[in-house]
Amino acid sequence: MSKKDITDYLWTDKKRTLFGLPLSFTRYFVTDTKIITQTGFFSVREDEIDMYKVTDKSLKRGFFQRLFGLGTIRILSKDIDTPEKELKNIKNSRKVSELIDACITQQRDKYSIRGRDMYGPGGHIPPEHFDFD
């Protein structure tokens, strides 16, 4: 059984060229609990971010992106492997951004977590979260 058979995706799309064509080996998936990026053709790499770990999200729509109905969502998280992720050149970027917001809120409510709970006093990240090796 493959991963697609057991996972319910709320949204999925490919990274698109500047002209809006899905000619890429980068694919994005959103579930109610994770944001998944899959890259590669022969050797495939997947990276996941848990929704409740997202600390900030922004949407950027440059001039050419707007012409072709695209946008880039930038996500900052407390994920050790991926503190920053960009979902580049995706269609319906505003709706996807709102979907991610709803999932973040749902997961934080489920675990009773707020963004400020992931930071120490004064809004700084506690030193034990840094890897000095």
21-55 per-position pLDDT tens digit: 898 999 999 999 999 999 999 999 999 999 999 99
pLDDT of the residue at 48: 95
Q: 94: part of which helix (H) or strand (E)?
A: helix 93-111
| pTM across the whole model | 0.80
Burial class of residue 40 in the structure, from the number of CB atoms within 10 Å of its CB (0-12 exposed, 13-18 middle, 19+ buried): exposed
CATH number attached to the domain at 3-113? 2.30.29.30
CA of 50: how far to CAs of 10, 63, 78, 105, in Å?
14, 31, 9, 12
